[in-house]
């Protein structure tokens, strides 16, 4: 395995090891000495020995093979050092040095030079601007984090682009007795990036959960693939930073104005089964439980000794979309027999303030037959025996190993011991209903993750590929492409002369829509260049005059018009949609379905689908607010037609990489189907 | 002050004091003995002395005056005991006994009897099913919570309907070194309810923050008044339980199906400036800071020594709607001069990994001139001096007492001391960006609370009051009332005979809408009893035949029709709305504005306003999604017309208490105004 030399290095060099104990190079050497049992080579031009270890002038002076080089020299020396390492056939380098793209123009240049060198080099690099790498088994630590902080072995691998966020998570996890398999700061990711590290860790048997902190990604599609493969094996938890730094749209389409960078990440994470988290505190809760607990059921049973705590728990579950499990008659009868008659047999099941550990045990034994996850609340009541109750819960857990049980012990200091007991026996422990519900929801979503399938997408065939546009296309020119794409459009004809107009009317009929044929749609809008509901020849002439007058005022010459059928009138349409796609720079095509408000072109709500559209995306669209509306109003056949349009657009975006945006707006929707009435293509 | 005897009692009796140390009556006596310096009278029929205190057979045997009686006798003896207390002129009783409405039918009866007795009694009662009352200054504790748990004096008053939730909050707060002014378990609230206690505490000088846990309320309007008065003086934090127990709608209106109990609570809390919380953990964070910190500005500046932590903080603030404050040129220049040239002068301001406490101080001094709240992040970096930095922050805080500063110290154990220092110096301390942003948002909302004004509502005059309906009214009968109310409606005429039809057409004209005049709108819908877009007499006859045929199939006789103008065609309407109101059992009228999707009657989105509509509600409606759409599409005049309709409906609901729901649907909206086309009144 190629990463053997990173995760189990025979020897590590510290290039830039320093005599000055306050210098990073010195702290790294110290951390390595404390943690690493292999051979260490400090590299320092001016020292023969550092911290009692023989030092070398350069890596070339070392005779033994070198698996990993830790580089902590000034930024402008890094490239030369890398070249020496390459010559020495070092397998991996971890560049700790900062002063690259994160700092200034000179740093950007230095980083670019390293990138260029690495394209043809064999050495693999983590960093620069990395805080280091920590492995727990076998152990080593190339970082300069506080040597007093000793992360210990556990199941979580932590990967972070930021050293400071990494330190905070390591700090708090270690304090909370949560261990790590590996801790990797990828820094500026000049070579090994989060995607690749994710792939490596997904195959690492010592890693049960992967936690990523990332701010940016280069190759979104590769990331999705790697994340899907990882999610099949273990939970991938991602905290993304820098969400507020949003880049601007690049085209003048409506659709691109609706989509920002964050949307791409959100859709990608969803597709890949990633567990997205909002903050560091969530990571800590999840780290403890994500490796071991699987929740395949979104109905939960709650057992409590205080009704109000039980109903707070149900409230919290409902708030995140988890339901209260219903009892069946058999189990209800059993409970009724076993419990005091004052107990109401319901969910939450209140065992009353005098509930003993035995009563908990009896109730749990019966309820566990439901085979649904159980939250067990123990709160300070008249009878309050947290340790003994914890022991009973742990027994039940042993008998039903696949049944998730979530103990929620309330009562501050008085339940500390019981909680420790639970944790030591492999049970999760939560402090509050809201927190528990939140984690349960995330674990449920992960546990039911299915890698995406693309059956419908694969079946979709279109006739347009590798389209080249000289400029953005609107009107009939765009319509022709949309027609070829297999999307129904209204009839439309262009005319320039009176005689062409006469022919056009014969084809189109009344009511009709007159449009100014101008490439620039902003112009068209300003000139009132779309006039609908034209019922007579007189109206039509009036409409043309109105446009001509406005154009003349702006010294524009109108030479060509387009005449369309009035789809709204013809089809008795009930809804108007925008359908289209925008090409996200990172994740590729994002399809959009927007609902226009009333009879206006104002978009009230929009739903997005990541391309290529998966079978699950289609299922999700059916249950989305807009999807349900369309289905309700326009029935199954029209709904399927819209799905078909979306699949075609998704395919179109994949086969026509030069197209930035496609915008079909409005699409008139009725039980008779979906018909597109205006069209735009942006390159 | 009437509550003097509750909060500073000269003497307390424990009725049901017991010899058995496991009994509640014994624990209460013990807690009282530990905490209370006044005179204690244990009452027990069979004892002369309990825990070394002289015992009495009954309260009537006591010669001294009694301020407070704690009652812990079996449920069926409580009424008699209360009567004795009343005779003895005891001012307050705290009924600890359970077994009332929370348990069974017999309990409900016992509770009703107590309620009846108390109507004419002078004694004021807290409970039954109360866990007790704890006062910290002067101190006493009538509760049976664990005597080892010693809540200490602080600024928070805690009021809870549930004993178990109360215990959990007291446990965790005490553990977290947060004190209380008063702790009151109101239990089943047979007499003193949360509203009244809220009022009392709002006037209590020792209470800086009020925390309420409630599941239900009886008089919603009284509660709102009391909560507004309380919010003017101090923050009121409410956790509501039992949200999942939703009661069903009582009428067949669409509007009532959109509204559940929780909506009323949500609108009421918003109006009253209450800080709603989702869980116990939020209460604890808020308790620490709510008494002292006021944030009048929703733009925050972030200072950090790690850019990624800073941008996580900005992300978290943005996610809750708080903006990043912009620097002005002067301050930017000052910062540029004071800080190392590598620092990018922006928000978040990264002081870099080698930031010293002095650099923090300099940056803080300059940024504080912006006069916007500041989050200061200190994370483990190359230079990491948390204590010294905490001291500098505390200095700056002393110099700018009204400027909120939120320190966010990251780094687990290594920042514990610094955090303690901050807390001891009156500064808040947070552990994570997400948590900090959440609390800042809540404090900002409270700090900018303004008691509601009703200028627009007061000016609104209507001509309908004290309306009596025999049954629900639809069609023209309802239209007549809506017309009187001052809401524009389409023309409509009823007809039964051919000659009436001829007259009707002359008045209404084409296109028109034919409606079956049936009281039961469900029938009308099923019979296809609303036919729109009728353009000729032939169409009209066809429409009548179609309805008649369907009616005949159901053996219904159609005797009366209504003919309306087709408002949609006339007005070129752009949007269709539902406007109406539902009378919430607890909080009174709730107005609704619903957006119909496209040209259909499906509601896509709905916004609600609590009656009477306040000036702030109007402002909020303007910025709501539906409000902005209406304004954009139909412009100011129509928008104002809709506001006027809502005010009229709000007044209507207040002046006509017998009306349950009013539903005007659709209302056609265009720049020409808002016209109602169908009308329903439910009693």
pLDDT tens for each residue of B221-240: 999 999 999 999 999 999 99
Across the interface, whether the CB atoms of A595 and B597 are under 8 A apart is answered yes
Q: Alpha-carbon distance B269 to B246, whole Å?
A: 18
A676 touches chain B (CB under 8 A): no
> Using CA atoms in the order A441, A442, A447, A453, what is the torsion angle rounded to 10 degrees?
110
Distance (Å, rounded) from C-alpha B264 to C-alpha B271? 11
Q: At residue B518, does pLDDT exceed 80?
A: no
pTM of the full predicted structure? 0.94
Give the long-range contacts of residues B555-561, CB within 8 A, separation 24 or more. B556/B523, B556/B527, B558/B516, B558/B518, B559/B496, B560/B494, B560/B495, B560/B496, B560/B517, B561/B494, B561/B495, B561/B496, B561/B501, B561/B514, B561/B515, B561/B516, B561/B517
Q: How far lies A19's CA from each of A35, A36, A71, A76, in Å?
A: 19, 20, 15, 21
What number of CA atoms fall less than 13 Å from residue A388's CA on the CB side? Answer: 10
Name the residue among B163, B324, B434 with its Cβ closest to that of A279.
B434
Contacts of B129 in chain A (CB under 8 A): none
pLDDT-derived band at B678 (thresholds 50, 70, 90) equals very high
Nearest CA among B347, B344, B296 for reference residue B325: B347
Give the per-residue pLDDT at A248. Answer: 58
Residues of B in contact with A159 (CB under 8 A): none
Interatomic CA distance for residues A190 and A396, integer angstroms:
51
The pLDDT of residue A462: 96
Rg of chain A, C-alpha, whole Å: 32
* Residue from the list B144, B171, B314 with its beta carbon closest to the beta carbon of A244: B314
Does A520 have pLDDT greater than 70?
Answer: no
- For chain A, the residue count is 683
pLDDT band at B459, cuts 50/70/90?
very high
Interface touch B165/A309, C-beta < 8 Å = yes
Q: Is A299 on the interface with B (CB under 8 A)?
A: no
A545 or B11: which leads in pLDDT: B11
pLDDT tens digits for range A470-518 = 889 989 999 999 999 999 999 999 999 889 999 999 999 898 999 988 7
* Total Cβ atoms within 10 A of residue B330: 11
* Statement: residue A570 has pLDDT above 70: no
What residue has token string 């509204």?
A: B259
Predicted-assembly ipTM surpassing the 0.85 threshold: yes
- What was the pLDDT predicted at B289? 86
Among B185, B266, B279, B285, the residue to mutate for chain A (most A Cβ within 10 A): B279
Judging contacts by C-beta atoms under 8 Å, the chain A residues touching residue B309 are 162, 164-165, 168
Strands A68-71, A92-95: pairing kind: parallel
Q: How confident is the model at residue A33 (pLDDT cuts 50, 70, 90)?
A: very high
Tell me what pLDDT residue A250 has: 60
pLDDT of residue A247: 60
Q: What is the DSSP pairing of strand B473-474 with strand B679-682? A: antiparallel
Residue A138 in this model has a pLDDT that exceeds 90: yes
Which residues 526-585 of B are in CB contact (within 8 Å) with A?
573-576
Q: Do B308 and A161 touch (CB under 8 A)?
A: yes
CA B637 to chain centre: 32
Interface of A with B in 306-345 (CB under 8 A): 306-309, 311-312, 314-316, 318-319, 324, 342
Cis ω on the peptide bond leading into residue B511 (within 30° of 0)? yes
DSSP string, A67-134: SEEEE-S-GGGHHHHHHHHHHTT-SEEEE----STTT-HHHHHHHHHHHHHHHT-S-EEE-SS---EE
Element holding A161 (H helix, E strand): none
User: What integer is the mean pLDDT of B367-387?
Assistant: 93
- Helix ranges (DSSP H) in B554-674: 567-571, 615-623, 625-655
| Amino acid A532: pLDDT | 85
**Residue B384 with chain A: CB contacts under 8 Å:** 146
Is there a contact between A412 and B575 if contact means CB atoms under 8 Å apart?
A: no
Give residue A112's pLDDT: 97
Mean pLDDT along residues B155-183: 94
CA distance A532 to chain B (A): 13
> Which tokens go with A221?
């599609």
Predicted confidence at residue A523, as pLDDT, reads: 66
- B135 inside 8 A of chain A by CB: no
The mean per-residue pLDDT over the stretch B349-364 comes to: 96
Quick check: B168 contacting A, CB < 8 Å?
A: yes
Residues of chain B in contact with residue A316, where contact means CB-CB under 8 angstroms, are: 278-279
Chain A segment 34-53 residues within 8 A of B by beta carbon are none
Residues 187-246, chain A: which have Cβ within 8 Å of B? 213, 215, 239, 241-245
Report chain A residues whose CB lies below 8 A from the CB of B308: 161-162, 164-165, 213, 215, 241-242
Is the pLDDT at B288 greater than 90? The verdict is no
Which of the pair, A279 or B558, is modelled with greater confidence? A279
Instruction: Give the mean model confidence (pLDDT) for residues A201-221.
Output: 95
pLDDT over 70 for what percent of chain B?
Answer: 97
For residue A402, the model assigns a pLDDT of 86
- Closest by alpha carbon to A59, among A49, A51, A50, A71? A71
**Which residue out of A309, A312, A342 would a mutagenesis test of the B interface target, given it has the greatest number of B Cβ atoms within 10 Å?**
A312
Q: Is A276 on the interface with B (CB under 8 A)?
A: no
d(CA A290, CA B35): 46
B104 lies within 8 A of chain A by CB: yes
> Given pLDDT bands bounded at 50, 70 and 90, which one contains residue A530?
confident
Write the pLDDT tens digit of every residue in B85-107.
Answer: 999 999 999 999 999 998 889 99
Residues of chain A with Cβ-Cβ distance to B144 below 8 Å are 382
What's the rounded Cα separation, in Å, for the pair B95 and B70? 6
Cβ <8 Å between A281 and B435: yes
Residue B549 has pLDDT above 80, yes or no: yes
Place B371 in a pLDDT band, splitting at 50, 70 and 90.
very high
Over residues B122-147, the pLDDT tens digits come to: 999 999 999 999 999 999 999 988 87
CA distance B22 to chain A (A): 9
- Closest chain A residue to the Cα of B23, Cα to Cα: A382
Q: Which residues in chain B touch residue A414, judged by CB atoms under 8 angstroms apart?
A: 146, 149, 171
Q: Specify the pLDDT at position B248.
A: 57
**Candidate from B103, B412, B434 with C-beta closest to A175:** B412
Contacts of B245 in chain A (CB under 8 A): 311
**CA distances to A506, B24, B266, B450 from B270, in Å:** 61, 39, 6, 11
**Alpha-carbon gap, residue B332 to A286, rounded angstroms:** 41
A-to-B residue pairs, Cβ atoms closer than 8 angstroms: 236
> Mean of the pLDDT values across residues A672-677?
92
- Would you state the pLDDT for residue A567? 72
Q: How big is the CA angle at B266 (ends B261 and B271), to the nearest 5 degrees?
A: 130
Residue A446 corresponds to which tokens in the numbers above?
């992960």
pLDDT for residue B437 is more than 90: yes
- For residue B51, pLDDT over 60 is answered with yes
Would the CB atoms of A312 and B414 count as touching at under 8 Å? no
Return d(Cα A674, Cα B345) in angstroms, integer.
53
CA A389/CA A409 separation, integer angstroms: 10
Residue A599 contacts B where some CB pair is shorter than 8 Å: yes
pLDDT at residue B651, rounded to an integer:
98
Q: How confident is the model at residue A211 (pLDDT cuts 50, 70, 90)?
A: very high
Check residue B484 and give its pLDDT.
97
* Distance (Å) from the alpha carbon of B311 to chain A's nearest alpha carbon: 5
Share of chain B above pLDDT 90, in %: 79
Residue pair B16/B44 in contact (Cβ under 8 Å)? The answer is yes
pLDDT band at B489 (very low <50, low <70, confident <90, very high): very high
What tokens appear for B520 in the block? 């039961």
Rounded mean pLDDT of A629-649? Answer: 97
Q: Does residue B521 surpass a pLDDT of 70?
A: no
Residue B221's pLDDT is 95
Cβ–Cβ gap A146/B413 under 8 Å:
no
pLDDT bucket at A246, cuts 50 / 70 / 90: low
Instruction: Identify the residue whose tokens are 């975006």.
Output: A653
Confidence bin at B571 (pLDDT 50/70/90): low
Mean of pLDDT values over A442-459: 97
Contact B244 A314 (CB under 8 A): yes
Greatest pairwise CA separation for chain B in angstroms: 99
Contact with chain A for residue B58, Cβ under 8 A: no
Of A173, A131, A139, nearest to A156 by C-alpha is: A173
Q: What is the pLDDT of residues A312-360, one digit of tens each?
A: 999 999 999 999 999 999 999 999 999 999 899 999 999 999 999 999 9
pLDDT > 70? residue A301:
yes
Percent of chain A's residues with pLDDT above 90: 79
Contact B162 A306 (CB under 8 A): yes
Q: Which two tokens stand for residue A134?
A: 């920590």
- Residue A397 to residue A394: CA distance in whole angstroms: 5
CA A396 to chain centre: 36
Mean pLDDT, chain A, rounded, equals 93
Peptide bond before A138: cis, by omega within 30 degrees of 0?
yes
The tokens of A334 are what? Answer: 């059993």
pLDDT at A367 > cutoff 90: yes
Out of A362-366, A620-624, B408-412, B571-575, least confident range: B571-575
Query: Is the pLDDT assigned to residue A124 strictly greater than 90?
Result: yes
The b/e string for B27-42 (b: 16+ C-beta within 10 A; e otherwise) is bbbbbbbebbeebbbb
CA pair distance B313, B319, nearest whole angstrom = 10
Most confidently modeled range among A277-286, A377-386, B177-186: B177-186
Residues near A123 by beta carbon (within 8 Å), at least 6 away in sequence: A82, A85, A86, A90, A91, A92, A93
Task: Write down the pLDDT at residue B559.
Answer: 79
Contact assignment for B165 to A312 by CB distance below 8 Å? yes
Q: Using an 8 Å CB-CB cutoff, list chain B residues near A213.
A: 308
Cβ-based neighbours of B545, under 8 Å, separated by 6 or more: none
Nearest chain A Cα to B409, which residue? A168
Query: How confident is the model at residue B679, as a pLDDT?
Result: 92
In Å, what is the CA distance from A361 to each residue of A300, A356, A357, A366? 18, 9, 6, 9
Q: H/E element holding B444?
A: helix B433-447
pLDDT band at A22 (very low <50, low <70, confident <90, very high): confident
Is the pLDDT at B243 greater than 80? The verdict is: yes
Give CA torsion, residues A148, A154, A159, A164, to 10 deg: -30
Residues of B in contact with A431 (CB under 8 A): 172, 281
Give the model's pLDDT for residue A242. Answer: 87
Of A165, A315, A605, Cβ closest to residue B243: A315
Q: Is the pLDDT of residue B527 over 80?
A: no
Closest residue in B to A243 (Cα) is B315
Cβ within 8 Å, pair A595-B574: no
What's the pLDDT tens digit per position in A66-110?
999 999 999 999 999 999 999 999 999 999 999 999 888 999 999
pLDDT reported for residue B46: 92
Q: Which candidate from B168, B280, B312 shows the least CB-CB separation from A241?
A: B312
Q: Looking at residues B101-121, what average pLDDT do you find?
A: 95
Does A412 sit within 8 Å of B244, measured CB to CB? Answer: no
């Amino acid at each position: 395995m190629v990463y053997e030399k990173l995760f189990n290095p025979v020897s590590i060099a510290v290039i830039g090891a320093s005599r000055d104990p306050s210098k990073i190079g010195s702290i790294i050497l110290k951390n390595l000495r404390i943690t690493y049992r292999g051979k260490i080579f400090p590299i320092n031009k001016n020292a023969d020995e550092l911290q009692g270890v023989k030092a070398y002038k350069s890596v070339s002076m070392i005779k033994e093979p070198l698996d990993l080089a830790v580089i902590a020299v000034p930024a402008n020396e890094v490239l030369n050092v890398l070249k020496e390492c390459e010559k020495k056939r070092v397998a991996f380098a971890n560049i700790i040095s900062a002063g690259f793209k994160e700092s200034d123009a000179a740093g950007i240049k230095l980083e670019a030079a390293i990138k260029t060198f690495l394209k043809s080099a064999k050495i693999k690099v983590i960093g620069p601007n990395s805080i280091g790498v920590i492995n727990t088994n076998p152990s080593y630590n190339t970082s300069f984090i506080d040597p007093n902080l000793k992360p210990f072995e556990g199941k979580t691998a932590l990967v972070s682009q930021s050293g400071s966020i990494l330190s905070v998570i390591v700090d708090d996890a270690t304090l909370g007795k949560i261990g790590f398999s590996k801790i990797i700061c990828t820094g500026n990711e000049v070579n090994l990036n989060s995607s690749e590290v994710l792939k490596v860790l997904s195959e690492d048997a010592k890693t049960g959960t992967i936690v990523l902190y990332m701010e940016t990604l280069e190759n979104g599609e590769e990331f999705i693939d790697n994340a899907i493969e990882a999610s099949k094996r273990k939970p991938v938890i991602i905290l993304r930073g820098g969400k507020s730094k949003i880049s601007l749209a690049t085209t003048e389409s409506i659709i691109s104005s609706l989509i920002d960078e964050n949307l791409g990440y959100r859709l990608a994470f969803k597709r890949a089964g990633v567990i997205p988290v909002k903050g560091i505190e969530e990571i800590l809760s999840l780290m403890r439980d994500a490796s071991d607990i699987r929740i395949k059921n979104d109905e939960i049973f709650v057992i409590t000794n205080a009704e109000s705590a039980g109903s707070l728990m149900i409230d919290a579950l409902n708030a995140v979309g988890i339901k209260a499990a219903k009892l069946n008659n058999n189990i209800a009868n059993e409970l009724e027999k076993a419990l005091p008659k004052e107990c109401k047999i319901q969910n939450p099941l209140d065992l009353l303030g005098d509930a003993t550990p035995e009563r908990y045990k009896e109730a749990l034994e019966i309820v566990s037959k439901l085979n649904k996850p159980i939250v067990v609340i123990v709160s300070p009541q008249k009878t309050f025996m947290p340790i003994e109750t914890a022991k009973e819960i742990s027994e039940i857990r042993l008998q039903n190993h696949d049944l998730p049980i979530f103990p929620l012990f309330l009562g501050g200091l008085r339940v500390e011991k019981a909680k420790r007991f639970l944790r030591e026996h492999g049970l999760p422990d939560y402090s509050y209903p809201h927190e528990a519900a939140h984690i349960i929801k995330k674990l449920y979503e992960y546990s039911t993750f299915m890698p995406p399938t693309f059956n419908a997408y694969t079946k979709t065939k279109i006739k347009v590929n590798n389209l080249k546009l000289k400029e953005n296309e609107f009107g009939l020119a765009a319509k022709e492409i949309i027609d070829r794409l297999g999307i129904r459009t209204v009839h439309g004809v262009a005319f320039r002369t009176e005689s062409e107009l006469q022919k056009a009317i014969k084809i189109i009929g009344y009511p009709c829509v007159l449009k100014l044929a101008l490439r620039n749609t902003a112009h068209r809008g300003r000139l009132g260049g779309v006039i609908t509901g034209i019922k007579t020849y007189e109206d039509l002439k009036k409409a043309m005059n109105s446009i001509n007058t406005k154009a003349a005022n702006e010294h524009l010459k109108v030479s060509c018009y387009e005449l369309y059928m009035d789809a709204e009138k013809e089809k008795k349409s009930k809804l108007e949609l925008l359908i289209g796609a925008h090409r996200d720079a990172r994740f590729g095509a994002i399809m959009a379905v927007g609902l226009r408000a009333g009879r206006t072109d104002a978009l009230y709500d929009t739903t997005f689908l990541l391309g290529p559209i998966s079978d699950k995306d289609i299922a999700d669209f059916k249950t989305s607010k807009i999807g349900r509306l369309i289905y309700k109003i326009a029935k199954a056949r029209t709904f399927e037609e819209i799905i078909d349009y979306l699949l075609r657009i998704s395919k179109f975006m994949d086969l026509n990489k030069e197209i930035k945006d496609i915008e079909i707006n409005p699409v008139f929707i009725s039980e008779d189907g979906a018909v597109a009435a205006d069209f735009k293509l942006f390159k």
